[in-house]
Amino acid sequence: MFTNAGTSSFTSFLSKVAPEMLPGRRPLPPGMAADMAPHATTIVAISAAGGVVMAGDRRATMGNLIAQRDIEKVHPADAYSLVGIAGTAGIGIELMRLFQVELEHYEKIEGAMLSLDGKANRLASMIRGNLGAAMQGLAVIPLFAGFDLAAADPARAGRIFSFDVTGGPYEETGYDAIGSGSLFAKSALKKRFRAGLSIDDATKLAVEALYDAADDDTATGGPDLTRRIYPVVMTATAEGTHRLTDAETGAIAEAVVSARMENPGG
């Protein structure tokens, strides 16, 4: 089964040899299942000069309960792109792992990386495969962003793609947010985003937007200063993906919180 000529796509290979490992291929009993599993919440992405920043809060909720305080929802998809997940956490993590393997697999088989648009299209078709489960309440919506190595202008190489339950992708200009707090995060970004922000400014802006989301959305967690749990912030630039250390995000989060002590609206 491994030696057939086949395709360079890992999901196509799985669909032949182990379809049960693909999310969306499992038969689900009828009925709504939305409240039975934890939900991951808000992710924001901002394109900046020379790259893109993605940040996510750390909360997962199950109904009115906090299921996890320190879940990590922003991950590197490969060396130059980032993926953040919102929606049913279990399926989201599975989808994201599968997407990581899909990109790495293609790279190893073909000896070359997929284009950024190719990666976004692959992710869209994987989400589309989960449509049945999504209609029963187990929806997963990722946010995808990356540094486009083929971009003519390196300043505009940071690109963001959003999706819906039926796939997508939709390329976003400037910034985007997904998840339950995205309405508030996007409102904050709408007023503060400027084209050509530096990566550092975009990082601060992302943490601010998450603070605004947590301020008005119960399912989004703000910076937890007592437990030292801060948002996960990652960047994708020409040098590759980079995750800010807890010390770095902690310093930014503390600055944001102390500024809000004086002006709660930011």
Partner 1 sequence: MAMQFYASPEQIMRDRSELARKGIARGRSAVVLSYEGGVLFVAENLSSALHKVSEIYDRIGFAAVGRYNEFENLRRAGVRMADLNGLSYDRRDVTGRALANAFAQTLGAIFTEQSKPFEVEICVAEVGAAPDDDELYRLTYDGSVNDEPGRMAMGGQAEAITGVLKAEHRADMTLGEAVKVAVKALGSVGGEGGAARTIAANQLEVAVLDRRRIGRTFRRITGAALTALLDGGVAEEPAGGPQTPTAPTGEAHKPTTSAASADLERRESEGES
Residues that bind partner 1 (CB under 8 A): 2-3, 5-6, 10, 13-14, 17-18, 21, 72, 75-79, 93, 96-98, 100-101, 103-105, 108-109, 111, 228, 240-243, 245-247
Comparing C-alpha atoms, which of 227, 207, 229 is closest to residue 72? 229
Distance CA 208, CA 260 (A): 10
Pick between residue 81 and residue 220 the one whose CB is nearest to partner 1: 81
Residue from 3, 7, 11, 41 carrying the catalytic annotation: 41
Residue 61 known to be catalytic: no
Pick between residue 21 and residue 131 the one whose CB is nearest to partner 1: 21
Query: Nearest approach, Cβ of 96 to partner 1 (angstroms)?
Result: 6
- Which residue is listed with tokens 């379809």? 19
Distance CA 221, CA 226 (A): 13
67: its two tokens: 């299921």
Query: Nearest approach, Cβ of 168 to partner 1 (angstroms)?
Result: 22
Pick between residue 35 and residue 239 the one whose CB is nearest to partner 1: 239
Pick between residue 192 and residue 242 the one whose CB is nearest to partner 1: 242
Query: Nearest approach, Cβ of 70 to partner 1 (angstroms)?
Result: 10
CB neighbours of residue 203 within 10 Å: 23
Spell 146-170 as b/e; 16+ CB within 10 A means b. bbbeeeeeeeebbbbbbbebebbbe
Which residues form the catalytic set? 41
